[in-house]
């Protein structure tokens, strides 16, 4: 059995026991979380496309290294969407504390700025308990904004402007709004898909309300150094067809687990909003309204999920610091063992 990692912070040493609880330990690294003293907290990140196995690997790393999982998934934050967003069950969590999942009402507005505030607090609290923060998720904007130390100001909300933009999007469509954004901020517009209505409208709202483009705000927000030192592990595939096969199988399993009932209950309880645009929900609207057969909606869901996975890979591949683990070239046990070894080496390096 691989020995557990001892973490020492502020003169206290904790060693995670097999039960998952922290126990006092007499030996260990004197300064593993030295970054705390320098205001730079070690954070281990697991990124990659949907259905790649991020959740499972994140839990294994947390168990091996005495960590707590911080979610970086913009849809798992919402309540009432466990199956649609592939949120881990209590059994799958295996006693590992998870933060920022299933805690936001689907009708609430949840911004990147609010995520950075919540995730930052969860990381500081985990590190303060002598635990290693393990960031797990596929929302690239969340991951990069958090780990790169990007700051977002919560702008004063102009409800009339927001309503006007929403009505215009309803009338003209998402692609027309993305074209409008491209004329103002072509660089940021290139990073967005037409389905990402929320971020398209927020970028337009920012410009019309302040005169500042999202690209400019991102540039300004990067001027301060990151409060974290991090290792990014990415799960990838040498053959993308293998990932697409996993996606199709997962959609089939989600349907067996009750996805359709969950979607029906969700739309019965909530008005359409940001959460209702999640992949896994909106694809079933034509079936629920009697316009299309279920089979067509299921195939559309698989297709949209594959497209989303491709966009995720494009996003994460841009970061040259990511260490990639190829899921289709290594077995699950070998990949997990290598990830744990890489993480241990990184922690020891930072301890020197």
Residue 193 and residue 116 share a domain: no
Dist. CA 271–CA 107, nearest whole Å: 7
- Phi-psi sector, 71: left (phi>0), alpha (psi -120 to 50), beta: beta
Q: What's phi and psi for 266, nearest 5 deg?
A: -65, -50
Query: Which strand ranges, in their side-by-side order, compose the sheet holding 323-326?
Result: 98-99, 67-71, 132-136, 41-47, 228-236, 323-326
What residues form the annotated binding site?
Answer: 48-55
For 297-339, the DSSP string reads: HHHHHHHHHHHHHHHHHHHHHT-TTPEEEETTTS-HHHHHHHH
Dist. CA 291–CA 186, nearest whole Å: 36
Pairing state of beta strands 228-236 and 12-16? unpaired
For the domain that residue 163 is a member of, what is the CATH number?
Answer: 1.10.20.140
Query: Which strand ranges, in their side-by-side order, compose the sheet holding 22-24?
Result: 7-9, 12-16, 22-24
Residues ≥6 apart with Cβ < 8 Å to 49: 138, 235, 236, 243, 308, 309, 310, 312, 313, 316
In a domain, 304, yes or no: no
Nearest alpha carbon to residue 50 among 348, 311, 258: 311
**3-state SS, residue 223:** coil
In a domain, 4, yes or no: no
Residue 120 and residue 83 share a domain: yes
Residue 231 and residue 106 share a domain: yes
Residue 120 and residue 43 share a domain: yes
In a domain, 233, yes or no: yes
Which has the higher per-residue pLDDT, 15 or 247?
Answer: 247
In a domain, 276, yes or no: no
Residue 211: pLDDT over 90: no
Dist. CA 59–CA 43, nearest whole Å: 14
pLDDT digits (tens, 9 = 90+) for 244-271: 999 999 999 999 999 999 999 888 887 6
In a domain, 165, yes or no: yes
285 to 58, 196, 303: CA distances (angstroms): 33, 17, 16
Residue 229 and residue 101 share a domain: yes
Residue 112 and residue 168 share a domain: no
Element (H, E) at 231: strand 228-236
In a domain, 204, yes or no: yes
What residues form the annotated binding site for ATP?
Answer: 48-55
At residue 26, the pLDDT reads: 32
Residue 196 and residue 57 share a domain: no
pLDDT digits (tens, 9 = 90+) for 270-310: 765 556 667 778 899 899 889 999 999 999 999 999 999 99
Residue 96: pLDDT over 60: yes
How big is the CA angle at 174 (ends 170 and 179), to the nearest 5 degrees?
125
Query: Please, which pLDDT band fits residue 321 given cuts at 50, 70 and 90?
Result: very high
Residue 202 and residue 328 share a domain: no
Task: Over range 338-351, report the average pLDDT.
Answer: 92
Query: Please, which pLDDT band fits residue 210 given cuts at 50, 70 and 90?
Result: confident
Residue 234 and residue 215 share a domain: no
Residue 107 and residue 163 share a domain: no
What residues form the annotated binding site for substrate?
Answer: 50-55
Total structural domains in the chain? 2
In a domain, 129, yes or no: yes
In a domain, 35, yes or no: yes
At residue 1, the pLDDT reads: 39
pLDDT digits (tens, 9 = 90+) for 159-179: 888 889 989 999 999 999 999
Residue 211 and residue 163 share a domain: yes
**Is the separation of the CB atoms in 110 and 152 below 8 Å?**
no
Residue 182 and residue 214 share a domain: yes
Give percent of the chain above pLDDT 70.
84
**Is the separation of the CB atoms in 124 and 9 below 8 Å?**
no
For the domain that residue 147 is a member of, what is the CATH number?
Answer: 3.40.50.300
Query: The domain containing residue 199 runs over which residues?
Result: 159-219
Task: Return the axis-axis angle of helices 140-147 and 112-128, rounded to nearest 10°.
Answer: 60
């Amino acid at each position: 059995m691989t020995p557990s990692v001892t973490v020492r912070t502020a003169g206290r040493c904790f060693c995670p026991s097999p039960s998952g609880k922290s126990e006092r330990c007499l030996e260990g690294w004197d300064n593993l979380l030295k970054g705390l003293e320098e205001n730079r907290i070690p954070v281990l990140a697991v990124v990659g496309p949907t259905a790649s196995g991020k959740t499972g690997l994140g839990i294994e790393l947390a168990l091996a290294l005495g960590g707590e999982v911080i979610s970086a998934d913009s849809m798992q934050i919402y309540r009432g969407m466990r199956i649609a967003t592939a949120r881990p069950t209590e059994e799958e969590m295996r006693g590992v504390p998870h933060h920022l999942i299933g805690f936001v009402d689907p009708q609430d507005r949840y911004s990147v700025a609010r995520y950075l505030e919540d995730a930052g607090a969860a990381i500081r609290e985990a590190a303060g308990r002598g635990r290693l923060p393990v960031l797990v998720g596929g929302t690239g904007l969340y991951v990069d904004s958090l780990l790169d130390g990007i700051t977002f100001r919560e702008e004063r909300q102009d409800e009339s402007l927001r309503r006007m933009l929403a009505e215009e999007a309803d009338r003209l469509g998402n692609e027309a709004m993305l074209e409008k954004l491209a004329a103002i901020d072509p660089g940021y517009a290139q990073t967005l898909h037409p389905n990402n209505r929320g971020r398209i409208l927020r970028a337009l709202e920012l410009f019309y309300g302040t005169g500042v483009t999202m690209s400019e705000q991102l540039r300004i927000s990067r001027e301060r150094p990151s409060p974290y030192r991090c290792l990014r592990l990415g799960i990838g595939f040498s053959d993308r067809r293998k990932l697409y096969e996993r996606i199709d199988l997962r959609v089939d399993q989600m349907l067996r687990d009750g996805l359709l009932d969950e979607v029906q209950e969700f739309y019965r309880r909530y008005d359409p909003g940001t959460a209702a645009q999640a992949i896994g929900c909106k694809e079933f609207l034509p079936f629920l309204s009697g316009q299309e057969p279920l089979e067509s909606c299921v195939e559309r869901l698989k297709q949209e999920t594959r497209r989303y996975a491709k966009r995720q890979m494009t996003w994460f591949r841009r970061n040259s610091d990511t260490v990639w683990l190829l899921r289709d070239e290594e077995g699950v046990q070998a990949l997990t063992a290598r990830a744990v070894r890489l993480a241990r080496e990184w922690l020891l390096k930072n301890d020197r």
